[in-house]
Amino acid sequence: MSIWIKHELCSGCGACVKVCPYAAVEIIDTKACINERCTECGVCLTSCKEKAILTDVTEKTVPDFSDRKGVWVFAEQRDGILNRVTFELLGIGQLLAKELNQELSAIVLGSKIDKLIDPLAEFGAENIYIAIHPSLNDYRTIAYTSVISKLVREYKPNILLIGATHTGRDLAPRLSRRLGVGLTADCTELSIDPEHGDLLQTRPAFGGNLMATIINRYSRPQMATVRPGVMQQIKGKSPNGPRKIIKSVSLSEKEIMTRILEVVKEERQKVNLNEAKVIITGGRGVGSLEGMKKLEALADLLGGEVGGTRVAVEEGWVTVERQIGQTGQTVRPDLYFACGISGAIQHRAGILGSKYIIAINKDPMAPIFQVADWGIVGDIHEVVPLLTEKLQQR
Amino acid sequence: METIVMIKQVPDTTEIRIDPSTGNLIREGIESIINPDDRHAIEAALQIKEKLGGSIIAICMGPSQAIDAISEALGFGVDRGILLTDKCFAGADTWATSFTLGRAVEKINNYDLIICGQQAIDGDTAQVGPQLAEYLHIPQITYVKGIKEITEKKIVAKRLVESGYEIIGCGLPALLTVVRELNKTRFPRFDWLIDACNKRAPIEIWNAADLGVKAYQVGLQGSFTNVISTYTPTFKRRGEILEGDSQRMVEDLLTRLEENHLV
């Protein structure tokens, strides 16, 4: 594609020189000439009275993707254990595959993966692409990118879903750039556009203040990372058992470029508020570490976890990995207690997926009551211990 | 040590409100800030420079007012700033953004390390860093929460994962995306901030022609993904405020929890 000037028609008036934002048109010997700074933006086209500026730049068209078939799911494993988001991806993958009348496949990479095949099949994978190599034992960006990109180029899937975990959010963008395709991050809803069959990818933006639906019309596979804890797992064995496709892999340490020197487990990281059924969260009204203990007692009784707002974390009443809200974690428990929390938008955005929200706050005007199922206007230091006590009696 | 820091100017999302009648974001009057994670990227670059010498360039793609973000970066002690601004960069997805940033890095053509914030608070994608690393064919370490060792030739960093952290080593050049646990950011120096707003401040402005890119490769035209609709999330809640004294309210709450099989 390019833009050029038909010199027979050019009057040398210089109108195009003036409109060009890049100084890419010059008058040389009374004729306009386009230099190497041209970006083909097309601004000059309409400026020419003589219609001497021509272009073959065309509107962007959607390529024919009819040969792209199948929904693929990246099966994330660490130490031979599948991350639960894998089953959630297979769950939504089953629904999408059914809608498209295409097959659902899982890709699994590692050094020992025999035990992972059955669970993948049990949760709906009809085909399982397997790559085994010592270098694939632990996730490393370039090793995984290299193997998966080769599989995708060979088998041409239509959709590729990856969990929005630390691994997935490292892998997916690298892979998308290598494959030359678009990618949507951290989706919370996926469906198929009934008209064109494109994947509709919905995700929160602006800290959860806005939901955006995104499509990837111009490239395949349609890649998305999916927020853990959102999609439903669905059991569903394929009647013929899974078809296993084992791919041979050649990888060198030199091309992988990074080395894992050590893996350190940290107990504190185990707090996974994503999976908690009950969460009791404290805000400014908690007032002290002592105040937080009252919330912990209730959490213990209900088998739940405690969380904190940004203020509670900054005050040191709750540790940072328990922070809930836009800058902390997004949670969706069955039961969420907001205690002494006014309910800034950042906090509300992180809890909207909860099934039931209970707010306890002294201030009847606190915005948290707007998103609560049940509200108690009162002092948490009185109400929470009373609630704990009455629950114990039942 | 030549370090490039990628920064983004973002609306302070803690201040964002939704217009109740239209459901649109109200952007007027919202302060623009350097994306919080990117401040930690700047701090990391400053600490590395203090240790190994060299210089730091901050690159920001955005509208012309994003020059404020670069001026602020210079106030922290960044040596040079480059603003990538052009009408045709507008509406870029992460694919087009990583391409545009990649061309700017190629034009600079002299770097050992690129540092980005883990993610921006407006888009929350965390995609541009890894996509840029792939574009440049250099290794990446994401979710960096600690730098154990850095020399002119290699880096060893702690990468945050769900179950703890990994210690990852690689040769330079490399790209890091950093999380806020990595460091505590400093305050900008007032005199440097003033200097940064001076006409002769070391800030360059590059457009599409300066990068040698075509309009169809960048911005909305150069993007693979498109936003087709947006909406404000709403959740139906009962919104029942319980009444009476504390005893009464707690009893009523327990009754409701039991009715819904929640306890």
Interface size, chain A vs chain B, as Cβ–Cβ contacts under 8 Å: 269
Domain count for chain A:
3
Instruction: Tokens 């990118």: give the residue.
Output: A145
Look at the alpha carbons of B97, B99, B104, B105 in this order and tell me if their dihedral is positive or negative.
positive
* Domain that residue A301 falls in: 271-393
Q: Of B109-118, B169-178, B223-232, which range is least confident? A: B223-232
A39 to B263: CB separation less than 8 angstroms, yes or no: no
Q: Do A173 and B94 touch (CB under 8 A)?
A: yes
B47: tokens are: 């600490």
Per-residue confidence at A138, pLDDT binned at 50, 70, 90?
Answer: very high
Show the tokens assigned to A26: 């010059």
Distance, CA of B61 to CA of B97 (rounded, Å): 8
> Quick check: is B183 in a domain?
yes
Find the closest chain B residue to A38 by CA distance: B209
pLDDT attached to residue B162: 86
For chain A, what percent of residues have pLDDT higher than 90?
79
Tens of pLDDT, residue by residue over A283-322, are 999 999 999 999 999 999 998 999 999 889 989 999 888 9
Q: Looking at chain B, how many residues does it have?
A: 263
3-class secondary structure, B108 = helix
Is residue A268 over pLDDT 60? no
Residue of A3, A198, A258, A267 to mutate, testing the B interface (most B Cβ within 10 Å of its Cβ) = A258
CB contact under 8 Å between B124 and A377, yes or no, is no
Residue-level pLDDT at B145: 97
Q: What is the pLDDT of residues A35-46, one digit of tens each?
A: 999 999 999 999
d(CA B168, CA B175): 13
User: Per-residue pLDDT for A78 more than 70?
Assistant: yes
Average pLDDT over residues A107-126: 95
Residue B133 domain-assigned (yes or no) = yes
Distance CA B134, CA A241 (A): 37
Domain membership flag for residue A262 = no
Considering only alpha carbons, which residue of chain B is nearest residue A262? B167
Residue A375 to residue B242, Cβ atoms within 8 A: yes
Q: Is B92 helix (H, G, I), strand (E, B) or coil?
A: coil
Q: Are residues A218 and A356 in the same domain?
A: no
Q: What is the predicted pLDDT for the residue at A191?
A: 97
Tell if the CB–CB gap between B235 and A204 is shorter than 8 Å: no
Same domain for A229 and A198? yes
Residue burial A7-25, b: 16+ Cβ < 10 Å; e: rest: eeebeebebbbeebbbebb
Nearest-by-Cβ selection for B142 from A170, A204, A390: A170
In this prediction, residues B207-223 reach a mean pLDDT of: 96
- CATH code where residue A154 lies: 3.40.50.620
| Cα separation, B228 vs A124, whole angstroms | 30
In angstroms, the separation between the Cα of residue A37 and the nearest Cα of chain B is 5
Of B128, B141, B224, the CB nearest to A218: B224
Residue A65 falls inside a structural domain: no
Q: Do A302 and B263 touch (CB under 8 A)?
A: yes
Q: Between B137 and A273, whose confidence is greater?
A: B137
Spatial distance between the Cα atoms of A317 and A286, rounded to a whole number of angstroms: 8
Give the pLDDT band of residue A346 (cuts 50, 70, 90): confident
For residue A260, what is the DSSP state?
Answer: E
Shared domain check, A164 and A208: yes
Distances (CA, A) of A59 to A19, A311, A325, B91, B222: 22, 51, 42, 17, 12
Please tell me the predicted confidence (pLDDT) of residue A239. 74
- Give Cβ neighbours of residue B107 (< 8 Å, ≥ 6 apart): B206, B210, B211, B212
Distance from the Cα of B26 to chain A's closest Cα (Å) equals 11
Read off the CATH number of the domain in which B105 is found.
3.40.50.620
Q: What is the DSSP letter of B44?
A: H
Alpha-helical (H) ranges within A303-366 are 310-314, 345-349
Of A149 and A112, the one with more pLDDT: A149
Query: Is residue A144 located within the same domain as residue A207?
Result: yes
Pairing of strands A3-5, A53-55: antiparallel
Domain C-terminal end among A256, A280, A299: A256
Mean pLDDT, residues A17-32: 94
In a domain, B223, yes or no: no
Of the pLDDT bands very low, low, confident and very high (cuts 50, 70, 90), residue B234 is low
- Give CA–CA dist A225/A168, Å, rounded: 7
How far A23 CA sits from the closest chain B CA (Å)?
9
Q: Do A243 and A318 share a domain, yes or no?
A: no
Residues of B in contact with A272 (CB under 8 A): 162
For residue B128, give the chain A residue with the closest CA: A173
Domain assignment present for residue B187? The answer is: yes
End residue of a domain, out of A225, A256, A287 = A256
pLDDT band at residue A59, thresholds of 50, 70 and 90? confident
Same domain, A97 and A214: yes
A199 lies in the same domain as A155: yes
Q: Are residues A299 and A374 in the same domain?
A: yes
- Other Cβ atoms within 10 Å of A101 Cβ, number: 8
Instruction: Determine the pLDDT at residue B21.
Output: 65
Is there a domain that residue A61 lies in? no
In this structure, is residue A66 part of a structural domain?
no
Query: Which residue of B127, B135, B168 is in closest CB contact with A261?
Result: B168
Instruction: Tell me if B251 is assigned to some domain.
Output: no
Same domain, A146 and A237: yes
Burial category of B180 from C-beta neighbours within 10 Å (exposed 0-12, middle 13-18, buried 19 and up): middle
pLDDT of B187 higher than 90: yes
State the pLDDT at residue B33: 94
pLDDT surpassing 70 at residue B18: no
Dihedrals φ, ψ of A293, to 5°?
-60, -35
A5 half-sphere exposure, CB direction, 13 A CA radius: 29
What residues of B are in contact with residue A344 (Cβ under 8 Å)?
14
- A223-258 confidence digits (pLDDT tens): 999 998 789 899 987 777 899 999 999 999 999 999
Q: Which residues of A touch B213 (CB under 8 A)?
A: 39
Q: A183 and A288 in one domain?
A: no
Tens of pLDDT, residue by residue over B64-76, are 999 999 999 999 9
Alpha carbon of B37: minimum distance to chain A alpha carbons (Å): 11
Banded model confidence at residue A198, pLDDT cuts 50, 70, 90 = very high
Phi, psi (degrees; rounded to nearest 5) at A239:
-60, -30
Same-domain status, A193 and A220: yes
Write down the H helix ranges in A130-242: 141-155, 166-179
Q: Which of A223, A256, A289 is the last residue of a domain?
A: A256
Per-residue pLDDT for A270 more than 60? no
Containing B102, the helix (H) or strand (E) segment is helix B94-108
The domain total for chain B is 1
Distance from CA of A30 to the nearest CA of B (A): 24
CB contact under 8 A, B225 and A186: no
Q: Say what the pLDDT of residue B19 is.
A: 66
CATH of the domain at A275: 3.40.50.1220
How does the average pLDDT of chain A come out, rounded? 92
Q: Decide if B252 is inside a domain.
A: no
Determine the structural domain holding residue B198 and report its residue range. Answer: 2-217
Identify whether residues A245 and A329 lie together within a single domain. no
B235: confidence class by pLDDT, cuts 50, 70, 90: low
Residue A208: the pLDDT is: 67
Would you call B254 and A42 a contact, using CB atoms and an 8 Å cutoff? no
What would the pLDDT profile of B102-159 be if each residue is shown by its tens digit? 999 999 999 999 999 999 988 889 999 999 999 999 999 999 999 999 999 999 999 9
* Residue A1, pLDDT score: 63
Asked if residue A315 is part of any domain, the answer here is yes
CB-CB neighbors (< 8 A) of A60 in chain B? 216, 221
pLDDT at B124: 87
Indicate if the pLDDT at residue A382 is higher than 90.
yes
Assign B217 a pLDDT band (cuts: 50, 70, 90): very high
Residue carrying the six token digits 């059991």: A235
Q: Count the residues in chain A.
A: 394
Average pLDDT, chain B: 93
Phi, psi of B142 (to 5 degrees): -100, 170
Task: Say if the Cβ atoms of A219 and B18 lie within 8 Å.
Answer: no
In the predicted model, is pLDDT for residue B23 greater than 90?
A: no
Contacts of B235 in chain A (CB under 8 A): 352, 371
